[in-house]
Amino acid sequence: MAAAGAVAVKPVWPEDKRAIVNSPANITDPLVLFMPSGKRGRFPVGTPVLDAARQLGVYVESVCGGRATCGRCQVEVQEGNFAKHKIVSSNDHISPKGAKEERYERVRGLPERRRLSCSAQILGDLVVDVPQDTVINAQTIRKDADTRVIARDSAIHMCYVEIEEPDMHNPSGDLDRLKIALMKDWGLKSLDFDFHLLTQVQGILRKGNWTATAAIHKDAESETARVISLWPGLKNEAYGLACDIGSTTIAMHLVSLLSGRVAASSGTSNPQIRFGEDLMSRVSYVMMNPDGREGMTVAVREAISGLVDKVCAEGNVQRNDILDSVFVGNPIMHHLFLGIDPTELGGAPFALAVSGAVHIKASDIGLKLNQGARLYLLPCIAGHVGADAAAVTLSEGPHRQDEMMLIVDVGTNAEIVLGNRQRVVAASSPTGPAFEGAEISGGQRAAPGAIERVRIDPDTLEPKFRVIGSELWSDEPGFLDSVQATGVTGICGSGIIEVVAEMYLAGIISEDGVVDGGLSARSPRVTANGRTFSYVLKEGEPRITITQTDVRAIQLAKAALYAGTKLLMEKQHADHVDRIHFAGAFGSFIDPKYAMVLGLIPDCDLDKVSAVGNAAGAGARMALLNRGYRREIEETVSRIEKIETALEPRFQEHFVYAMALPNKVDPFPKLSAAVKLPPRKTVSEDGIAGDAAPRRRSREGHAARRGRG
């Protein structure tokens, strides 16, 4: 039941999934979009932003009950033209600071651009960002490093030397005598120095009593070695960063360059989400806003700098001890990180500004590490298959073995690699954000309280589920107590995959993805929703349902991925794959059985389908710790064949067949041997199965019309 005085709201769905429906009474009400959740609705002028957030189920913390004293309800208004959402957002569309908010700012301080959502009122269309540093139940970033042992041959070597003191008979400069000592003791044939050391060398040598440790950078064998940093006396540790810049999350590992030990790992949401939840939205934002590229570049660099602080604190390491770094990301993240306009990637021929490996100083992009620290980006494979896919390929090594290996990194833009030591092909597929909870009615990102596992009894159609933050199933004693702190707030990507697959296995949806309204006579879980039907996963507040539109969104996403995979299999003349690896944090939590039931991946022995975690991060660590791996992936990428799905005439045919669960034409014998698939049945678009469809549709149509009347 709505709280007294609450403002009625009509949720608005994304244009590409469902038309905006508004009654004449509220069509002029301002449209408010909350990021990073993507939830939005129309609200009357004067509605407090906090009230709007609560009515849409957006988590904004407030301890003081709206008195503008706790300061936990801070939000930021994003300014610009958000073309995808048809919103022009401006600070003029929110009320000026009132007396309470001004008092809080005067006494406690309020960061620039921040507003207290309990005091700020809606005056016009808005895009509102809920900063992650204000959210206690923030997204769960699960990207720890794996435990593989990597042979060490990094581009950084620490070299201790003892230098001859100057005297009247040897007029050589201190830098020259340091150079001679390094060449003599370490066999360096030629040596250069970074400029910043020229002003420091004399003080360092005297402080170390004519002993010093030099950090030598030499990536390729053909390069001249360079001294990039210098310490007095013995320095026996040096660190590097391995970072995967995902479109949704950023993961970073702090690694000892000498031992290979991972000193610390951390992750955070990519703040660029507030500019657009998918990659093309961000490109669109750059195109529509003159300062859009700069805003997104600043946002991601600030987030990375914050992660450096986190891993340094956790690992008890100083920034000055970080001498090297390796970054990976998809092409748009890659370009924005470097400060390159990604507009050309928004349309054919999807031209990259730079595709090869990038070697620069960390300071070139304003990353404050050691003054001489280097930065290396792996090469991009093609316009929408980036350095992250190259890192995954390096990590999993399809080019090193005989089996036909399929690697799938599921995200807003899925990247697919298929091959063996004879040949490797790659493609990208626009799956959209559905697998991450966006554009799903009860969807959310993976955070405490989100449903992540689902089972449905095929006889009673009753569900049970597990949520992030609890080890208990919803039908087990103590479940409610275990989720008391977080509640059950929505359903995340792995839960969405499982619930749709379970609905299919239980017969709730047909192979064509239509919810069978005839089952409403068996279970109140199947309910009418206009001309279609929905499945109620959870009663209560919030009520979580899987609508026909939700099922369609998942079908579209999985069909795009499967069609891309089929194209690669055709290019390889392969009628099957031997092994499937799910990469990425999301892939780590996908149950292979349900992925195959859904038709997300082709038929394969289930015991040969595995999650490989943050393989992009693992590939980045390999390139950080061993320069030989840099040469390997540079050479491998030059041989990978990129298939552009948009130009392939058979993509649409594969896509249409892949809309069915698991597929309209492809057999799944290995899956059928492991899982009892339901018999095929046909359900009309309005959810009626069997010969009684016309009569039942008429009766339900009359009921629906009476309800509208």
Q: Report pLDDT digits (tens) over 639-663.
A: 999 998 878 889 999 999 999 999 9
10 lies in some domain: no
> The CATH number of the domain where 276 resides is what?
3.30.420.480
Q: Can you tell me the distance from the alpha carbon of 582 to that of 620, in angstroms, rounded to the nearest whole number?
A: 17
For residues 652 and 570, membership in a common domain is answered with: yes
What pLDDT does 702 receive? 39
What pLDDT does 463 receive? 97
For residues 406 and 461, membership in a common domain is answered with: no
- What mean pLDDT, rounded, does the chain reach? 86
Mean pLDDT, to the nearest integer, of 505-515? 95
pLDDT band at 16; cut points 50, 70, 90: very low
For residues 330 and 445, membership in a common domain is answered with: no
Residue that finishes a domain, picked among 480, 514, 547: 547
pLDDT per position as a tens digit, 468-489: 999 999 999 999 999 998 999 9
How many domains does the chain fold into? 5
Residue 244 has pLDDT above 80, yes or no: yes
pLDDT per position as a tens digit, 155-206: 999 988 999 988 877 778 999 999 999 998 888 888 999 999 999 999 999 9
Mean pLDDT, to the nearest integer, of 578-603? 89
For residues 422 and 476, membership in a common domain is answered with: no
20 lies in some domain: no
As a whole-number percent, the residues of the chain with pLDDT over 90 amount to 63
Q: Give how far the C-alpha of residue 588 lies from the chain's centroid of Cα atoms, to the nearest Å.
A: 13
For residues 407 and 315, membership in a common domain is answered with: no
Q: Is 520 exposed, middle or buried (0-12, 13-18, 19+ CB in 10 A)?
A: middle
Full-prediction pTM beyond 0.85?
A: no
Rg (CA), the chain: 28
Mean pLDDT, to the nearest integer, of 573-581? 95
Q: What are φ and ψ of residue 133, in 5° steps?
A: -75, -5
699 lies in some domain: no
173 lies in some domain: yes
Residue that finishes a domain, picked among 204, 232, 260: 232
For residues 289 and 327, membership in a common domain is answered with: yes
What pLDDT does 200 receive? 95
For residues 365 and 260, membership in a common domain is answered with: yes
For residues 289 and 406, membership in a common domain is answered with: no
Mean pLDDT, to the nearest integer, of 682-709? 46
The token pair at 11 is: 């949720």
Q: Which helix (H) or strand (E) holds 629?
A: helix 627-639
> The CATH number of the domain where 168 resides is what?
3.10.20.880
Residue 8 has pLDDT above 60, yes or no: no
For residues 358 and 401, membership in a common domain is answered with: no
For residues 405 and 475, membership in a common domain is answered with: no
Mean pLDDT, to the nearest integer, of 433-458? 84
309 lies in some domain: yes
What pLDDT does 23 receive? 37
5 lies in some domain: no
The token pair at 117 is: 């959502």
Domain enclosing residue 409, as ranges: 397-433+554-673
For residues 489 and 600, membership in a common domain is answered with: no
Bridge partners, residue 162, by sequence:
211
Contact yes or no for 357/307 (Cβ under 8 A): no
> The CATH number of the domain where 600 resides is what?
3.30.420
pLDDT per position as a tens digit, 519-538: 999 999 999 998 999 999 99
392 lies in some domain: no
Q: Which residues contact 487 (CB under 8 A, 6 or more apart)?
A: 449
Contact yes or no for 462/456 (Cβ under 8 A): yes
Sign of CA dihedral 668, 454, 660, 414: negative
635 three-state secondary structure: helix
For residues 564 and 535, membership in a common domain is answered with: no
DSSP single-letter state for residue 49: H
455 lies in some domain: yes
Residue that finishes a domain, picked among 210, 232, 254: 232
What pLDDT does 83 receive? 85
Residue 22 has pLDDT above 50, yes or no: no
Q: Can you tell me the distance from the alpha carbon of 616 to that of 269, in angstroms, rounded to the nearest whole number?
A: 16
As a whole-number percent, the residues of the chain with pLDDT over 70 amount to 88
What pLDDT does 134 receive? 52
